[in-house]
């Protein structure tokens, strides 16, 4: 029986996920990588995050989104899994907005990190 938990996300764009992890200064490795769990069990992930205890965290494509894959019994991050995923999801959304708006000709003219953790972006586009 597998000890791995698979937590659904709304993450569908791998480059935006990778940029989000980098923004958050999370050391990650591109996949495919085997992430390790209980008693040497492994799960293939598209992005792997090593933990100091040897039990990894990963993100795996399930056909429609990237799920967080980990043996939660060995979670070894300074914050709970829900907050960890929330921070990644927020930064992923930020990267997605930047990418989509850049494709439409917008540029960031102002960016503020608010006290509540939200991000305020002001975008502009010059038209002829």
Tokens of 108: 């960031």
Domain ranges (residues) in the chain: 5-124
pTM for the whole structure: 0.85
Contact 95, 20 (CB under 8 A): yes
Q: What is the pLDDT along the chain (128 residues), one digit of tens a residue?
A: 468 889 999 999 999 999 999 999 999 999 899 998 888 888 999 999 999 998 999 999 999 999 999 999 999 999 999 999 999 999 999 999 999 988 888 888 888 888 887 888 888 888 76
Which run of H or E residues covers position 85? helix 81-103
Pull the structure tokens for residue 118. Answer: 């939200």
């Amino acid at each position: 029986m597998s000890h791995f938990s698979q937590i659904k996300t709304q993450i569908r764009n791998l480059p935006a996920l990778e940029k989000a992890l980098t923004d958050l200064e999370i050391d990650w490795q591109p996949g495919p990588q085997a992430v390790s769990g209980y008693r040497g069990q492994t799960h293939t992930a598209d992005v792997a995050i090593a933990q100091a205890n040897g039990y990894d965290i990963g993100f795996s494509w399930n056909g429609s989104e990237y799920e967080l894959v980990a043996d939660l019994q060995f979670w070894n991050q300074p914050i709970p899994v829900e907050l960890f995923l929330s921070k990644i999801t927020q930064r992923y959304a930020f990267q997605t907005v930047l990418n989509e708006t850049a494709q439409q000709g917008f540029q960031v003219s102002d960016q503020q990190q608010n006290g509540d953790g939200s991000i305020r972006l002001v975008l502009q586009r010059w038209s002829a």
